[in-house]
Structure 1
């Protein structure tokens, strides 16, 4: 059997459970309370595989800090490491809880990186400069208002309050992490809640600089995200951009994936509504 016939390792992906104990929003095809059962179903599948970890790409809840108390115990059934990143709806909590969200999800910090099997995973906090995540009075809220107003004045498709941007400090950190990974001989997968490519109404406000950075780095293989529940795919330079579909959408169908990492490609095995893809590099 050739070396590329077996994956180096695998990991699981879940996007946008948006759980809340509230009635469905039928017009938007969102069934918030059903995400508990869908998550349990996904975990049952994940537990049948050997996985390095399972990443949830943000929006664990739809609203209310108390919603974490219902959905996080479901993750305890997972026999693999459960990792998280922050989505916009995770901050749909009272102002007193804004600073507690990352800790409630067991995250080491709002953005972080980790290595597995010679690969580096860079986990972004796409909400850092936003009108909802920073505490009241924080300079990032003022900067977000300025960025949003400028985009609205231009008629930009992504000029929405439910999008956001990286701080300059986090953007510089991203560049440093990619450079450090290259020096260590590591390939890179970047994960974030928000899409950056192809351009669209759900994209980060600073998508252009992020795409420009990732597209010119030969060791950056893929950027994985949620937020736009219908899913999407694009490519810029040698980097694949995959937007996973949202769990919360549809009454009965699930959406999750297992990513198999090979020496020359990523194989995405889609379950439910999620598409399967082969991403060569």
Structure 2
């Protein structure tokens, strides 16, 4: 059989076309990857927790100091991690101050938001929150806000530290929606001394991470226990942000630290070890794999917890400080 005279020429042309197609797809994938990478950029968060307006006589000044600081820090958003304020009219000034912030701002529901006979729906309405758990995106990161105040059963009373099945089902579904690294905010933590079913929740988070390398849960920021602490559990950071206001001691360690008038008008303040200055932080999370927490240190008002006989088994965490930290994640 005779080979057509242009056979080898055709083969060369087809080879050239294949190389061009391959080059196109390599270029397309590279550009697409760069586009995705460019969407994930450093995010800066102004953060505080446990202001406890009803307990602190100078809560207004503490909150104002945070707001003034954010004018300089210029974060991408601010968030408070719970135990901020009830909807009692006499404390409305705290919401008024909060509402002056011009940028994105988010609330987490703490266990004391419903003190004084108020309910969750009232707390949500004042915060313009349709739900006590929700999500949002910023700079390519996916943020999930949880509520650790669910009841195990309808008849249980008192403060709760629990997430119920409907919220857990919602969380599982929400994890699948993430297109970038995931950060979780809650009032009660998800770590080893968090909500009573924290182990169940951590297993869900860890199972997600095992199957999703690009949308891993990297951290849980929380408050509630008024500690300064950060610990990693199976690749996820659990970071307790210290209270803006005080360390709770309890009635057996009561001590009058301010004037008689303050003690009369703020009946719980004597059972705390207050911080002289408000504690808050700016957290920067980089897609390069670092979480940077800015530090802030103050001193006790009056005697320290140790000086009034408070147990020292967790003294390393009972400090009037938010330590500067750089945490790494993969």
- TM-score, structure 2 normalization: 0.66
CA displacement at 1:108 relative to structure 2: 3.0
Q: Find the residue that maps to 1:71 and give its secondary structure.
A: helix
2:150 and 2:49 map into 1 onto residues whose CA distance is: 19
Shift of 1:174: 0.8
Decide which of 158, 179, 187 is 2:181's aligned counterpart: 187
Q: Does 1:38 align with 2:29?
A: no
SS in 2 for 1:79: coil
Is 1:277 aligned to residue 299 of structure 2? no
Aligned partner of 1:158 in structure 2 is none
The structure number with the bigger radius of gyration is 2
Q: Measured at CA, do residues 169 and 81 of structure 1 come closer, stay the same or move farther in structure 2, by a change above 3 Å?
A: same
* Pairwise CA distance, 1:205: 1.4
* Structure with bigger RCO (C-alpha 8 Å, 6+ apart): 1
Q: Aligned partners of 1:64, 1:180: CA distance in 2, in Å?
A: 33
Q: Check the 8 A contact 2:295/2:322 in 1, yes or no.
A: yes
Structure-2 residue corresponding to 1:141: 154
Query: Distance between the aligned counterparts of 1:47 and 1:126, measured in 2?
Result: 31
Partner residue in 2 for 1:113: 135
Q: Distance in 2 between matches of 1:53 and 1:67?
A: 27
Secondary structure of the corresponding residue to residue 43 of structure 1: helix
In 2 relative to 1, CA 204–227 (structure 1 residues): closer, same or farther, beyond 3 Å? same
In structure 2, what is the equivalent of residue 149 of structure 1? Answer: none
| 1:214, distance to aligned residue in structure 2 (A) | 2.2
Question: Contact (CA 8 Å) 1:235, 1:241: kept in 2 or not?
Answer: yes
- Cα distance in 1, alignment partners of residues 154 and 80 from structure 2: 26
2:117 is matched with: 94
**Equivalent of 2:204 in 213, 216, 222:** 213
Which sections of structure 2, spanning at least 5 residues, go unmatched? 1-36, 210-215, 247-273, 298-320
1:231 aligns with 2:228: yes
Does the 8 A contact of 2:151 with 2:160 survive in 1?
Answer: no
**RMSD after superposition:** 2.2
2:150, 2:161 within 8 Å by CA — same for their partners in 1?
Answer: yes
1:82 aligned residue: 105
Q: Distance in 2 between matches of 1:270 and 1:39?
A: 17
Match for 1:198 among 176, 192, 197? 192
8 Å CA contact 2:150–2:163 kept in 1: the answer is: yes
Alpha-carbon distance between aligned partners in 1 of 2:91 and 2:106, rounded to the nearest angstrom? 15
Distance in 1 between the 2:73 and 2:87 partners? 33
Q: What TM-score do the two structures reach when normalised by structure 1?
A: 0.77
Cα separation, 2, equivalents of 1:44 and 1:237: 37
